[in-house]
Amino acid sequence: MTPSCSLFGIKTGLIHQGEEILPLLLLGLKKQELTLIDGDILVIAESALATAEGRLVGLTGVTPSKEANELAIQYELDPRLAEIVIRESDEIIGGIPGFLLCTSNGNLLPNAGVDGSNAPEGMVSLLPADPNMSAKKIRDDIFQLTGASVAVLVIDSRTHPMRYGCSGVAIGCSGIPSVLDERGKKDLFGRELKVTRRAIADNIASAAELLMGEADEGVPVVLVRGLEIPVGNYEGVEQIAAEECLFMGIISKNAQNRCQ
Amino acid sequence: MTPSCSLFGIKTGLIHQGEEILPLLLLGLKKQELTLIDGDILVIAESALATAEGRLVGLTGVTPSKEANELAIQYELDPRLAEIVIRESDEIIGGIPGFLLCTSNGNLLPNAGVDGSNAPEGMVSLLPADPNMSAKKIRDDIFQLTGASVAVLVIDSRTHPMRYGCSGVAIGCSGIPSVLDERGKKDLFGRELKVTRRAIADNIASAAELLMGEADEGVPVVLVRGLEIPVGNYEGVEQIAAEECLFMGIISKNAQNRCQ
């Protein structure tokens, strides 16, 4: 049996602050004559979830700290944006004009996920408060409402070192393992694979982004059907320890030099 | 019209050194009763292409240099592997046990793409010599043989900072733009997007990896059908300048400290 899968973009229309995302999602599926089945994977853009969760901050009420003003000058940012980025970050590691590189909850991400795109004028959106928990709640609610055992991913769009353009990463995951550990499996020549962990949640995130776009397309959800990934009680995006990360050993040596 | 797409894994059987990949690919498609049509995107694993191109090096004939021996001790590598990595790299930036972080032809990648998985015993595989050119040749040959105007990607599997597991990146591209530049497009609220370049080739690479696996699956090619991406005379994976890269400014500051 040769593997195959299908992806369907789901239109929900504009999602407003404080609105429940699930009814809009189910309505979108119905309009497209799609019925959820066991094993389906629903991929939700973090910007849509963040808006629904009311994760918007107005810039006008924000007073920049001294550190925010310094970062704003150094990296050509709105000082109020810099202030919100500081509040959302565990650490600011460095930057280039327009962006600060931050860590937040074990993730490495530009501007700590604070984003002015697809937010109303004068506002910025923060990342969803707890994307793993939101994914689990939507998955549980879908099971209650439809009886289908699906997986739910919440995804973001990120740049990667020396890659031009953004691609998808999973920031919330419920119902599938985020990473498949294939150590112990054999390669084509029958030898045991040494290091092979497949970031399937990130791969699904990137696949879904192909249909989402990032502008005014209004396709915040993608249904992925046919992947032979076991759906069950898996929770969370598996994280890597900084000392296991090929990049962080090098990046972190410079962390203490920031803002000098 | 709501966007959708389909992916089909194509089985070719084991590819041997020096074998032409295209006849195996076309035979695989035929066996699965798939006929190529305009706009199709064929995604080929770099390991399959590298094997076909004979990009295998035996470890026994390699004499490690002094630098290779030092790196081998510091990062717990086979000194012969370290030697080959040095030869394939423009620069070695650092490492963790088992891996060196290298630059090669504007790319940042572990062990300069030198890989012992899916290569015969005692051998390692190098990256294809010129993946963009190989992609173009396969695309041109397909047009000659079938009349279909398709795009061809050559893909690799990489780790990203603070992400657990590997996901797909494109290292060769012919027939579609590798990055869609959406600056000037409007967001959901009608404002111009500031920075939005979509790495569609990397996203397609990641999507294809979901069907390929990395072990003994023997699915080195994936057909992606239905994406509304214009297929035409686009060549190459667009590269980013180091000074535009959010990560490299920080990483490169430490490059001069390597091996001290």
Residue B17 pLDDT: 85
Within-domain flag for A103 = yes
Q: Please state the domain count of chain A.
A: 2
- A51 and A169 share a domain? yes
pLDDT by residue for chain B (260 residues), tens only, comes to: 789 999 999 999 888 888 999 999 999 999 999 999 999 999 999 989 998 999 989 999 899 999 999 999 999 999 999 999 999 999 998 888 888 989 887 788 889 999 877 677 788 889 999 999 999 999 999 999 999 999 999 999 888 888 889 999 999 999 999 999 877 777 666 666 665 789 999 999 999 999 996 556 679 999 999 998 999 999 999 988 877 887 877 666 544 443 33
* Chain B: residue whose CA lies nearest to A199: B165
What DSSP letter does each residue of A134-178 carry, written as one string? HHHHHHHHHHHHH----EEEEEEEE--TT--SBEEEEEEEESS-S
Our CA angle for A86, A89, A93, nearest 5°, is 90
Task: Pick B257 or A231 by higher pLDDT.
Answer: A231
Query: Taking residues A141-164, what's their average pLDDT?
Result: 94
Query: Lowest mean pLDDT: which of A162-171, A250-259, B144-153?
Result: A250-259
Residue B214 pLDDT: 57
What is the residue range of A104's domain?
Answer: 56-126
Query: How crowded is residue A180: how many other Cβ atoms within 10 Å of its Cβ?
Result: 19
Within-domain flag for B27 = no
Residue A258 pLDDT: 38
> How does strand B4-10 pair with strand A99-104?
unpaired
- B64 and B133 share a domain? no
Within-domain flag for A29 = no
Residue linked to tokens 């081998």: B72
Query: What CATH number does residue B68 fall under?
Result: 3.90.1660.10
> Which of B109, B126, B143 is a domain's end point?
B126
Within-domain flag for A241 = yes
Contact: B167, A240; criterion CB under 8 Å: no
> Which positions in chain A touch B120 (Cβ < 8 Å)?
189
Query: How crowded is residue A14: how many other Cβ atoms within 10 Å of its Cβ?
Result: 14
Contact: A188, B14; criterion CB under 8 Å: yes
Within-domain flag for A45 = yes
Helix axes B66-75, B79-88, angle to 10 degrees: 110
- B225 and B159 share a domain? yes
The answer to whether residue A218 scores a pLDDT higher than 90 is no
Within-domain flag for B28 = no
- B108 and B72 share a domain? yes
> Which of A94, A126, A158 is a domain's end point?
A126
Residue A260 pLDDT: 31
Query: Lowest mean pLDDT: which of A100-104, A223-227, B152-156?
Result: A100-104
Within-domain flag for B187 = yes
- A179 and A258 share a domain? yes
Residue linked to tokens 């990130």: A202
> Which of B68, B91, B126 is a domain's end point?
B126
- A106 and A177 share a domain? no
- B96 and B145 share a domain? no
- A39 and A163 share a domain? yes
> Which positions in chain B touch A213 (Cβ < 8 Å)?
182, 198
Q: Is the pTM of this model over 0.90?
A: yes
Q: How confident is the model at residue A188 (pLDDT cuts 50, 70, 90)?
A: low
- A141 and A47 share a domain? yes
How far apart are the C-alpha atoms of B181 and B232, rounded to whole Å? Answer: 16
- B48 and B60 share a domain? no
The answer to whether residue A191 scores a pLDDT higher than 70 is no
- A78 and A182 share a domain? no
What is the ipTM, given to two decimal places? 0.91
Within-domain flag for B26 = no
Nearest to B248 among A162, A178, A186 (CB): A162
> Which positions in chain B touch A216 (Cβ < 8 Å)?
185-188, 190
Sign of the Cα torsion B15, B16, B18, B23 reads negative
- B84 and B210 share a domain? no
Nearest to B203 among A32, A185, A206 (CB): A206
How far apart are the C-alpha atoms of A246 and B56, rounded to whole Å? Answer: 25
Query: What CATH number does residue B197 fall under?
Result: 3.30.1330.100
